[in-house]
Structure 1
């Protein structure tokens, strides 16, 4: 194993270069987040156009998340093997290519394949942009750097749903992928002149082929199990059982191999650090609930409330409004306030927002539906930066890419898994409530006779009346299930407060260690 001559650490950027570099790196992360949020409101249109069910349409989201999650923990090895700037440049370039191919996809199978490609090259974007940005600022301004970086990513939840909805209603869903092309090209044009001379040291490390293979198999089999389980009645299906067995065996083998290999593709020893594992677990669980809800709500709004994709996007978009204004304040306050207090306040606000959604009904107006999204933005602003600062505190610079990659891997996995679990639970609970509601509408029952009489008076014949009642039962079943999931989510946020306080408060200048 040989190592190239290590370049001297680059000095922090200043002035216009610092501002332009911050914008360029944040734009790459914006590109990644936008790709997820813009597709959420377009799922019904994509599924309908490609001849798939809405449930199958969610694979467009989960396939991207799964591929992104798998490639994220490889970031530490890839950075050491190729250098941060080269890896970042290659990731953006291939992401643009993947986006173009997604727009050209003629069927669901090819779209999922191109989304996997897109997600695989997108994985390093977030951790590498984060580490490049931290190296651009003096250590004392790390909190401000993270806040500015995160603030840009929060523009995507505002722009994504609105833009995705407008494109879906007025153009073609293909353009939700095509718009990544000019954004990616702009990112490269802005960052290369600044960061080309700031390449990091390269080490000729051996390739952990076994670790990478096991990682792909266990994550892929778990995601496929979650996606297929709801359609094949879970463990009554031989396919689901086989996927579960493969997942358990390869996960166990992966853990053993990575903890004993001399050059693991994922540095699992980071999980021995109390602050790292607590912050990473809290981020993952919170993001899983958050992202699962971000997929479920637009589906409910469009399929049950009759909203257009644009209107559904408008309901979800306010999540970034408060976040944009509060994020810089949170970053500056980290040096004065215990980040655990800020994260605790965030979880309380998350619980309030989801609690408000647990009171929705079919009669809810637009303002009522938008208010929890607006309030949720406060929670987002106060959560990700404090938890990230807790998790990365005390780590040496050479371990930051691996730590950021592993943390984002677990968070992104949780987003994909959370989407599958949320939509599965929503479907199962809806079926249960549908049966219960139908029992009270048996022929000859008073509610049934009253409903038929009311509809008959309005000019509906018997067939039309029964179809209308069936539609109302479906709407109520989906709505009750959505309400229950939001209530349960609010309760989980309150429980997670205890996890936050397992971490120690980060100390300025603390050395690496547990």
Structure 2
């Protein structure tokens, strides 16, 4: 990928406007990762599907995006970065319209996959194009602005998603992309022509790409459908598991021997990169799983509106915003392994706090873990990225950053699927345990004495038992996640002590 910049072609107001277009495009894509989280109960209600099926709306987008991120470099080299960026924006906007018009779960999931396919290249391309239009002395400020949009997106996502779902309808969480997408696409065509990259006839590893789609598709289908099909008691799920394992093994062997691999697996030979990426995958899986689960639990169980669930979820953002620049400074002076381990241990601690939540918890006792979590997130994100990218050769940094993004996004989708599955399965178990120890008849008689009919009394008891079971189950999931965070915080010490540091431009 040619990164010789064209400083000077864009000056003053035009340069600022071009930078704004790039930052806004990145913001839109990041926002779409979290905007649907708080809207899942609205979507499942209006399409009459279960909460575990509603989560497909989130995971399908993440998986499609993950598959497209490694392709970005090839696409930009083959067709030109600005062209691909513009096409991606148009495609993303079109699929946003279709998502908003969806009237069935199947259509919505297919359109979310389309959104993810076109959204995947936008994030890395906005970074690359910012580096091309700004002179070297201004690049770190430009990257700072880019990083802010990446951090602010997940904060505003739940608030916007909640407010729109409650006051308009969930369809509008997708329609709001239309003006932004059109503005960015027109802006890119008008302003960024001068930053176009040279194109060359590059070979694409089509077999590697086909294998990648095959095994990831099988894995995600297995995770999403396993719960309904009773896991390995279903022939279909067993077939998917076999396809996934064989596909993965063949994919690894193929990519090891391919001259232009779609995913450069050789980078895993660097111990520092492998362990940091593994730690990031575990931590991000648990992190994303909990940010998908919390808004659903708040709405189904505590009677929160989507708006208030959004506010609660967003309290995490203030800590992240405050700490990101501080951690970036600390990372240059202190051992990044210690910083990452510290952040992950705090995340383990706050997740443990959540494992003792009750059905009568008030807003602040639910918000405190979110607020503390916000302060901890930059401690694991920034140092882990620095360790991983500092462990590879300079010419491998672009591939390594793409590979890390891919692993992180996949881990998030897997974490979300597993979280919702365990939550659902364990709540059935918890319910039968509560029922077996309860004296239903005496409780029912007491309620009847207070003026309820026997049927109403049973209904009240049943809904209380359901709420308790869901809460016990959500606590169980958080206990597992707390262990995963602590495990991720410990394995980071297996990394060799990092020697070099990495420029901030690759920190996502």
Fold match by TM threshold 0.5: yes
Aligned to 1:52: 49
Contact 2:267 2:400 in 1 (8 A): yes
Contact 1:68 1:123 in 2 (8 A): yes
CA distance in 1, matches of 2:250, 2:273: 23
Contact 1:148 1:328 in 2 (8 A): no
CA distance in 1, matches of 2:491, 2:22: 31
**Structure 2 residue corresponding to 1:454, chosen from 443, 446, 464:** 446
Contact 1:147 1:330 in 2 (8 A): no
Q: What value does the CA root-mean-square deviation take over the aligned residues? A: 2.6
Contact 1:394 1:509 in 2 (8 A): no
Q: 1:417/1:347 Cα in 2 relative to 1: closer, same or farther (>3 Å)?
A: same
Residues 1:465 and 2:460 are matched in the alignment? no
Q: Secondary structure at the match of 1:382?
A: helix
Q: Secondary structure at the match of 2:72?
A: helix
**1:20-419 superposed matches below 5 A:** 22-134=19-131, 147-190=144-187, 195-393=192-390, 399-419=396-416
Deviates more, 1:317-326 or 1:84-93: 84-93
Q: Secondary structure at the match of 1:307?
A: coil
CA distance in 1, matches of 2:126, 2:167: 34
How far is 1:302 from its partner?
A: 1.0
Q: 1:272/1:7 Cα in 2 relative to 1: closer, same or farther (>3 Å)?
A: closer
CA distance in 1, matches of 2:131, 2:336: 18
Q: 1:147/1:270 Cα in 2 relative to 1: closer, same or farther (>3 Å)?
A: farther
How far is 1:283 from its partner?
A: 2.0
Aligned to 1:482: 474
C-alpha offsets along residues 208-234 of structure 1, whole Å, 9 cap, x if unaligned?
221111111100011000111100110
How far is 1:7 from its partner?
A: 7.8
Deviates more, 1:277-286 or 1:409-418: 277-286
How far is 1:29 from its partner?
A: 2.6
Aligned to 1:444: none
Aligned to 2:420: 423
Deviates more, 1:451-460 or 1:189-198: 189-198
Q: 1:8/1:230 Cα in 2 relative to 1: closer, same or farther (>3 Å)?
A: closer
Contact 1:146 1:331 in 2 (8 A): no
**Structure 2 residue corresponding to 1:440, chosen from 421, 437, 440:** 437
How far is 1:390 from its partner?
A: 2.5
Structure 2 unaligned regions, length at least 5: 504-508
How far is 1:424 from its partner?
A: 0.8
CA distance in 2, matches of 1:372, 1:382: 16
Q: 1:90/1:35 Cα in 2 relative to 1: closer, same or farther (>3 Å)?
A: same
Q: 1:235/1:52 Cα in 2 relative to 1: closer, same or farther (>3 Å)?
A: same
C-alpha offsets along residues 484-511 of structure 1, whole Å, 9 cap, x if unaligned?
211221222122122223333241489x
CA distance in 2, matches of 1:274, 1:141: 33
Residues 1:507 and 2:507 are matched in the alignment? no
CA distance in 1, matches of 2:135, 2:347: 32
TM-score, length basis structure 2: 0.91
Deviates more, 1:320-329 or 1:432-441: 320-329
How far is 1:64 from its partner?
A: 0.9
Deviates more, 1:45-54 or 1:239-248: 45-54
How far is 1:404 from its partner?
A: 2.4
Contact 2:289 2:416 in 1 (8 A): yes
How far is 1:382 from its partner?
A: 2.4
CA distance in 1, matches of 2:75, 2:276: 24
C-alpha offsets along residues 120-162 of structure 1, whole Å, 9 cap, x if unaligned?
1111122222334455667798776655433322212221111
CA distance in 2, matches of 1:342, 1:127: 26
Deviates more, 1:313-322 or 1:217-226: 313-322
CA distance in 2, matches of 1:126, 1:200: 17
Contact 1:323 1:378 in 2 (8 A): yes
Q: 1:190/1:334 Cα in 2 relative to 1: closer, same or farther (>3 Å)?
A: farther
CA distance in 1, matches of 2:3, 2:278: 35
How far is 1:17 from its partner?
A: 6.8
Contact 1:7 1:201 in 2 (8 A): no
Q: 1:384/1:16 Cα in 2 relative to 1: closer, same or farther (>3 Å)?
A: farther
Contact 1:143 1:332 in 2 (8 A): no
How far is 1:62 from its partner?
A: 1.2
How far is 1:190 from its partner?
A: 4.9
Contact 1:151 1:328 in 2 (8 A): no
CA distance in 2, matches of 1:20, 1:502: 45
CA distance in 2, matches of 1:46, 1:450: 39
Contact 1:131 1:400 in 2 (8 A): no
CA distance in 2, matches of 1:319, 1:451: 40
How far is 1:200 from its partner?
A: 3.0
Q: 1:324/1:178 Cα in 2 relative to 1: closer, same or farther (>3 Å)?
A: same
Aligned to 2:506: none
